[in-house]
Structure 1
């Protein structure tokens, strides 16, 4: 079963909207074109797509008014809205931010850039759907979680790490940002910036690339951020004076959240940061309710993960709701083969302590929208909503490598490695929680 991201493409030019739907299809999007702006709010509220993409303006209503109506409607305010705008000027960005728009892309951007900019909103939609479903499952276990504040983003000052040389163009951009609502912390060297990211907390990072620089230093820092567990969600804006590196999706594949010309000016960079920070805070709004579902009634008493009963109940709900919205779910089962030996050799307390550390390690390597649960004393299952088999396989490899390269403390100054087997299964039509878990267990193999 393939996951199709449902997108409504709306624009006054029906031909352009249909062409955009056709462009998105091979990338895994099921598109629906709408050309009458006044029809968009009702159409979106009924269809509940993952994303709304506004392809230019409308003849019958202002495009920003469409955004405002969608964001006022409780039935659609959670759906990310991205606009392709021919102007994409600072004034248009300001109006977009005020209307509730989630991102604005300059019309004419390359298709791979459009896809790269849409990708984070697919994840945001996944997080929202998982949050609603998980809170509903938690209620079955007498765990009540409030959802009343998940759409609100209060305006606050942002702490931004600005990395770039002292050249006039770069210094001017940093100065312009510091005059907005951002507290700018300057670093001129990527190594120093990397070290600072390890000891301080930031809302976003800006990496400025001067005319005489290549993008290698920016990509080095992006790679570090995306491969560091407590940093990989940090918004990263690359602002480059060398526009030759901005014509395709290379910066996004290297880890940038957004890539813009440095010559656009401080206001353009500030507006881009506002879009990025707001998206990050919407994620954090969902983070709270998602983590709040893990309480005594839903928790395994030995290692603090979700218990097996919660996993099975929630997986049943996900399979049912996923069938309705063409979703998909993948499971990875991790079996720790030497836990039984350690239990016999050192006792139950040591084995329990080891599994607690393994559980903590797995939780640090999965997303907040994923679930990790204990199936038995030496087996842990991770559930990945809306994850294709390839994505689940990559997550499995990353987690298994992390487990097998870690020396776990078993007390008395002793450490031990774990021997892991893993099995992966993705939902198929007609699957139940029991059949999907059983198939993942059947796939257990050495990694």
Structure 2
């Protein structure tokens, strides 16, 4: 059975974007195509699509982007525009502008990031409303107005130097690191908004830096770009699987590559502001003092607002409940007070393991709940099981001369149905635990 389409492709024919569509479909990002801007608007009315891939050669393409976004408001609609015309558009009109179609794996990676950022920004506005209604307005994060900081790692080369100059001309602060060792020294000394790695004749140093960054929780989200000497030197799909946000060949104009790096850096910085705004609620008097998670009352209020937002934006919404499983070790830890000591740490772990846009609550001392926007039931179960598995790898102190105990969870999940109240969906998720 085919899933619903996720991506709207707007193109007069298949000449430019057709192969990209085939690649996206093969990767599970099912596409639907409109041959005109008027047709695209109608498709958006019929389908709750997540993003747009646009052939910028269409007449009035820029105005069409504005019309399509207005059609789906208040849902945010990321746009990937492809074609020479798009690279000259005003900043912000397209989330990503590229002169030529990217590799399908690259497009899927970038689209996934754009969609998650859009959902997180929607959640910021919803959370602001929830806290304002309770008399404690959120303090929005102040954007960092300093120049974008880009790490350029690799041996000097005329192409790489030209790219560094292009980034500098666009207002970036570029820090050169000739070796992986100096690159990691810089990464640990100061914050960066993006890193560009020179492929040169040997890709090993660049791959080493990228792998090291993806193993570090502090550096994990920094976008990493690989700048190759030419095209076709390495399996591009494998590179994107390794965590590269973008790959550019040396025959790509330095100015375009710089624009792409700046777009990634800006998106990363915006992501940090969003996360800071969402995390600021943990110090509020409305949250659970031990864990910083939402209280049952606050969660119910916010879940109602999220559900209404999901209805207006035509997005799915799921709820998961995680309850500490009872076994002999847990009963002994509970009797000795050691479980109570561990639960604040467990709650903090839950808050770190959820996505930026998710909301976590403490419904009871050993019961936690998650609201997962834009997530179907099966996906929510995977996310909740992953959180339970990570926490299950941690051993907690059980007292002197006692074997440390581990915590396992019973997990229940329910996807919100049309017209369903927060209380009912929470009941169904809890019943899913008992029936699981």
TM norm structure 2: 0.79
User: For structure 1, which segment, 307-316 or 231-240, has the greater mean C-alpha deviation from structure 2 after superposition?
Assistant: 307-316
Unaligned runs of 5+ residues in structure 2 are none
1:52 aligned partner: 52
2:198 aligned partner: 208
Q: 1:200 to 1:257 in 2, by over 3 A?
A: same
**Offset, 1:204:** 1.1
Paired with 1:5 and 1:142, the residues of 2 have a C-alpha distance of: 41
Tell me the secondary structure at the aligned position of residue 405 of structure 1: coil
2:330–2:405 contact (8 Å) kept in structure 1: no
Q: 1:364 aligns with which of 352, 357, 364?
A: 352
**Alignment partner of 1:341 is 2:343:** no
Paired with 2:410 and 2:205, the residues of 1 have a C-alpha distance of: 36
Aligned alpha-carbon RMSD (Å): 4.3
Q: 1:276 to 1:145 in 2, by over 3 A?
A: same
Q: 1:227 to 1:437 in 2, by over 3 A?
A: farther
Query: Cα deviation per residue 1:196-239 (whole Å; 9 max; x = unaligned)?
Result: 434431111112111x213x543443344334333332121111
1:21–1:32 contact (8 Å) kept in structure 2: no
1:374–1:380 contact (8 Å) kept in structure 2: yes
Q: 2:364 aligns with which of 365, 376, 387?
A: 376
**Offset, 1:354:** 2.1
Q: 2:180 aligns with which of 180, 185, 190?
A: 190
Q: 1:417 to 1:311 in 2, by over 3 A?
A: same
Q: 1:10 to 1:172 in 2, by over 3 A?
A: closer
Q: 1:272 to 1:18 in 2, by over 3 A?
A: closer
**Offset, 1:317:** 3.6
Q: 1:81 aligns with which of 74, 79, 82?
A: 79
Paired with 1:138 and 1:268, the residues of 2 have a C-alpha distance of: 42
1:34–1:40 contact (8 Å) kept in structure 2: yes
Q: 2:229 aligns with which of 241, 252, 265?
A: 241
Question: Between Structure 1 and Structure 2, how many residues are aligned?
Answer: 428
Paired with 1:391 and 1:74, the residues of 2 have a C-alpha distance of: 24
Tell me the secondary structure at the aligned position of residue 270 of structure 2: helix
**Offset, 1:103:** 0.4
Tell me the secondary structure at the aligned position of residue 367 of structure 1: coil
Unaligned runs of 5+ residues in structure 1 are none
Paired with 2:181 and 2:376, the residues of 1 have a C-alpha distance of: 35
Q: 1:114 aligns with which of 103, 107, 110?
A: 107
TM norm structure 1: 0.77
2:321–2:369 contact (8 Å) kept in structure 1: yes
Q: 1:271 aligns with which of 259, 268, 278?
A: 259
1:427 aligned partner: 415
